[in-house]
Structure 1
Amino acid sequence: MNIPETNLPRIVVIGGGFAGISFIKKLRKAKVQIVLFDRHNYHTFQPLLYQVSTAGLEPDSIAYPLRKIFRNNFDFHFRMAEVENINSETNIISTSIGSLHFDYLVIATGTRTNFFGNENIAQNSMPMKTVPQALNIRSLMLQNIEKADITADERERKRLLNFVIAGAGPTGVELAGALAEFRKGILEHDYPELDEDEMFVHLIEGQDRVLPPMSEEVSAKAHKFLEKLGVQIHLKTFISDYDGQTVTTKDGNKLETATFIWAAGVTGAPVQGIKGEAFVERANRYRVDEFNKIMGYKNIFALGDIALMETEEYPKGHPQVAQPAIQQGKHLGKNFNKMLKDNKMEPFKYFDKGTMATVGRNKAVVDIGKLHFGGAIAWFLWMFVHLWFLVGFRNRVVTFFNWTYSYINYDRAARLIIRPFKQNNT
């Protein structure tokens, strides 16, 4: 592998998500060599993936080149590759482009979609964890509406205009709200031969309320917002199968649909090589100490979604969302600066800044400590926070312009089928 030799400590980072970039940013002036591996050459702002999938934003509004983020870092190197194995005894990682020795290893690989072992659902549903997957959903959604516009078969039109989402967490709720607004704002104008009432959005959740991780108060508000938008909500409902044509629930109900989006869960995305008690198989996460060091390893760390830090407040680890990843990344970067100067490292303490989800125009819900509220104020707060954490000034400006344009015109400018979706697209 063509990485310059160095006498400095070499820190290898796997993953350019929130945790990985937050960590590397804190080492901008440190006298170390940093090598970052990722399957993509860009960082993805995952909280806004649903807007790409529902034609609200173009993908370059929520993605940013990794090399550009770290162009001012001292001795930084990026390689687009898949890390396949970690040899902790020799301190060597094996990748799809070769092997590399490390002095320190930081694993920040995040999560992947969890289909809970259901092969049919894995094969036929639409996950949404990456930009290509979001573009697949956008293309499929628009293709199916185009097909519905020309078919004379009423049953086929109903199947093409039936959109089913599994999982009523923040991702599922935001997707459902965006699709419902697409129906109200776009369908009657772009497709005058289709009736708005022919398009249905179904949201299926196994628990007894939407947004289960959030407070009951905001959950009730979100439920009300969704119903007002016309979303059909199915609670205490578990999906057993999807064959590409029909969603089947465990209680025997069936929903014919050509668009089934799976947002019902995630699991860790580990790299082979970390063994023993350090790897928690049920969660696919690495057990770490208060310094994010993987248990039983001296120089290997894990951050964010892949890290399981068990505390009294979080006995099952921190939630697999952006804030713990960002905070752990920043904290470990500070600790590395201390360690490199032979100073004592400080334990990590998570500060919960709250949780929020948007349902639609002027409709969002927010949990911040003991404050639970929803509506227009929550929606503007949601917009401000997401703009603030987007990487890159251009992305913030473009996203703000798109949101302003959509707010004024009730429009979604990115409804383009650039890459037609075919089953098994990557």
Structure 2
Amino acid sequence: MEEQELAKIEHTGKQRVVIVGGGFGGLELAKSLRNVDVQVVLVDKQNYHTFQPLMYQVATAGLEAADIVSPFRKILEGQDNLSFRMAEVVCVNTETQVVETSIGLIPYDFLVVATGATTNYFGDEQMARHAIAIKSVEDAVALRNTVLSNFEKALQIGDDEQLNSLLDFVIVGGGPTGVEVAGALSELRKHVFPKDYREIDFRQMDIHLIQSGDVLLKGMSAEASQKALEYLQKFGVNVMLERRVKSYDGYTVTLNTGEKLITRTLIWAAGVAGAPIDGIRPESLRKGGRYEVNAHNQVAGYSNIFAVGDIAAMLSPEYPEGHPMVAQPAIQQGRLLASNLERLIRKQPLQPFHYDDKGAMATIGRNHAVADVKLLGKEWKTQGFFAWVMWALVHVIALVEFRNRLTVFANWMWNYFSQNTGLRYIMGGRREPIPTPKASEPAS
């Protein structure tokens, strides 16, 4: 590290806060430090913030990729104490207090790790090669292109098994992403694809949702879980509870029950893990790749290194494995950490973090959603059209820029009344077709 040059960032003479990652937690922290007397350096491998809760809408042709991203420089323009650098972080030297990046060394006084989470395939290398996850905008676009390419190829296929391998989809994971993708695909199957591909009998298009547990949307109320199951079954999704995927070779899905499914498109929504960076003591890491932090978000073993959001595991009796890996804990931690960094500089006592759980929502196709909302000290549970309207309003308001809000709202209104989407084009990357193995035994 000593041989590498410093990155070109003028030092202002103030204490420097380096934030690695511009997700919900890192971005909120950067914005909240606007009026604090520090120098802020935000480092991210992309030059934009992604609104991940709507990633599946890009994957299913509901929104443009541009609708859910906002450039950091636009969001943070006018913040004089902040510099943004697009770079890959290689490692950190905690003794010299320097972050090594692809553009050079960046010294810090305080380091904040906000690297979020990455897809967790639980060590299954075959699954990692063949499945499609939705953890980035590129993933979402690749999935959309793959889905549309499948139907273009299906027009040229005569063999029934080969045709089903292109038309059928397997989604692994019954959390919000899996449920929302399954619902969106069922909507496309009913309202959109038959108009585009009139030669295809879409009764042959099967959507399978596989969940290892006995309920969907674990963590939400029993009413929400049951209603989500009912909605998906109503939409013709084959929900397979208490089953696990044993293997997938790009063509055949084998379950732990011995059941087999044929598909060229397996969508992996079954798990995430923290994305740690090299150089921080491994003893600070917990299972799942998350850093153990105290109530002030300080990483275990350090006084000037912090972690917020998905990468942070703040343990408590209520959250023995850390807070849920969703947007709200990250946003709230980023906001409080900004205040605590100012307190730390002024040698004042730090404030502990208390999570204000606002509830959870998931949408399952047109006019159908489930919501467990915590308001005024009470939990309100609702399902159906009202929950769907609430979900839409919350997500539009939460988008970072006004332009995004307006565009998303307009697109949703058009799609709602026309029951159609104009984003059905194949542009950019997609999963290349895998040579079809000869099936040694029949598959369902």
Amino acid paired to 1:354: G
- Scaled by the length of structure 2, the TM-score of the pair is 0.93
Query: Does residue 1:165 correspond to 2:174, yes or no?
Result: no
Asked if 2 retains the 8 angstrom alpha-carbon contact of 1:31 and 1:74, the reply is: no
Match of 2:352 in 1: 347
Amino acid paired to 1:152: G
Query: In 2, Cα distance between the equivalents of 1:223 and 1:180?
Result: 14
Amino acid paired to 1:362: N
Which deviates further from its counterpart, 394-403 or 291-300? 291-300
Match of 1:382 in 2: 391
Match of 1:314 in 2: 319
Query: In 2, Cα distance between the equivalents of 1:269 and 1:420?
Result: 24
Query: In 1, Cα distance between the equivalents of 2:11 and 2:334?
Result: 26
Query: Does residue 1:29 correspond to 2:38, yes or no?
Result: no
Which deviates further from its counterpart, 298-307 or 31-40? 31-40
Match of 2:21 in 1: 15
Query: In 2, Cα distance between the equivalents of 1:276 and 1:43?
Result: 28
Query: Does residue 1:405 correspond to 2:414, yes or no?
Result: yes
Amino acid paired to 1:295: A
Deviation at 1:39, TM superposition (A): 1.1
Deviation at 1:227, TM superposition (A): 0.8
Deviation at 1:422, TM superposition (A): 3.7
Deviation at 1:75, TM superposition (A): 2.6
Match of 1:68 in 2: 74
Query: In 2, Cα distance between the equivalents of 1:186 and 1:13?
Result: 43
Deviation at 1:139, TM superposition (A): 0.3
Query: Does residue 1:288 correspond to 2:293, yes or no?
Result: yes
- CA deviation profile, 1:348-391 (whole Å, cap 9, x unmatched): 10010001100011100011243222100000000011011111
Query: In 2, Cα distance between the equivalents of 1:201 and 1:279?
Result: 37
Amino acid paired to 2:337: L
Match of 1:112 in 2: 118
Deviation at 1:409, TM superposition (A): 0.5
Amino acid paired to 1:307: A
Match of 1:176 in 2: 182
Asked if 2 retains the 8 angstrom alpha-carbon contact of 1:210 and 1:219, the reply is: yes
Match of 1:190 in 2: 196
Query: In 2, Cα distance between the equivalents of 1:413 and 1:228?
Result: 26
Asked if 1 retains the 8 angstrom alpha-carbon contact of 2:396 and 2:408, the reply is: yes
Asked if 2 retains the 8 angstrom alpha-carbon contact of 1:248 and 1:254, the reply is: yes
Match of 1:134 in 2: 140
Asked if 2 retains the 8 angstrom alpha-carbon contact of 1:30 and 1:74, the reply is: no
Match of 1:391 in 2: 400
Asked if 1 retains the 8 angstrom alpha-carbon contact of 2:172 and 2:178, the reply is: yes
Deviation at 1:344, TM superposition (A): 2.6
Query: In 1, Cα distance between the equivalents of 2:412 and 2:266?
Result: 26
Query: In 1, Cα distance between the equivalents of 2:385 and 2:431?
Result: 38
Q: Secondary structure at the match of 1:233?
A: strand
Deviation at 1:276, TM superposition (A): 4.7
Q: How does 1:26-425 map to 2 (within 5 A)?
A: 26-280=32-286, 282-369=287-374, 370-423=379-432
Query: In 2, Cα distance between the equivalents of 1:274 and 1:164?
Result: 38
Q: Secondary structure at the match of 1:150?
A: coil
Asked if 2 retains the 8 angstrom alpha-carbon contact of 1:28 and 1:72, the reply is: no
Q: Secondary structure at the match of 1:360?
A: coil
Which deviates further from its counterpart, 57-66 or 337-346? 337-346
Query: In 2, Cα distance between the equivalents of 1:310 and 1:133?
Result: 31
Total equivalences in the alignment: 423
Deviation at 1:345, TM superposition (A): 2.0
Amino acid paired to 1:418: M
Q: Which runs of 5+ in 1 are unaligned?
A: none
Deviation at 1:152, TM superposition (A): 1.8
Query: In 1, Cα distance between the equivalents of 2:296 and 2:404?
Result: 33
Query: In 1, Cα distance between the equivalents of 2:233 and 2:159?
Result: 29
Alpha-carbon RMSD across the aligned residues, in angstroms, is 1.2
Deviation at 1:200, TM superposition (A): 1.1
Amino acid paired to 2:121: F
Asked if 2 retains the 8 angstrom alpha-carbon contact of 1:269 and 1:306, the reply is: yes
Asked if 1 retains the 8 angstrom alpha-carbon contact of 2:17 and 2:38, the reply is: yes
Identity %: 48
Deviation at 1:336, TM superposition (A): 2.1
Query: In 1, Cα distance between the equivalents of 2:395 and 2:342?
Result: 29
- CA deviation profile, 1:5-63 (whole Å, cap 9, x unmatched): 22111110000000001101111122221111111110000000000000000000000
Asked if 2 retains the 8 angstrom alpha-carbon contact of 1:29 and 1:74, the reply is: no
Query: In 2, Cα distance between the equivalents of 1:278 and 1:118?
Result: 25
- Scaled by the length of structure 1, the TM-score of the pair is 0.97
Asked if 1 retains the 8 angstrom alpha-carbon contact of 2:34 and 2:81, the reply is: no
Runs of 4 or more consecutive aligned structure 1 residues displaced over 6 Å after TM superposition: none
- CA deviation profile, 1:215-271 (whole Å, cap 9, x unmatched): 111100000110111101111110011111111111111111011100000000000
Amino acid paired to 2:428: R
Amino acid paired to 2:364: V
Asked if 2 retains the 8 angstrom alpha-carbon contact of 1:163 and 1:260, the reply is: yes
Query: In 2, Cα distance between the equivalents of 1:225 and 1:413?
Result: 26
- CA deviation profile, 1:96-150 (whole Å, cap 9, x unmatched): 2211110110100000000001111000000110000000000000000111122
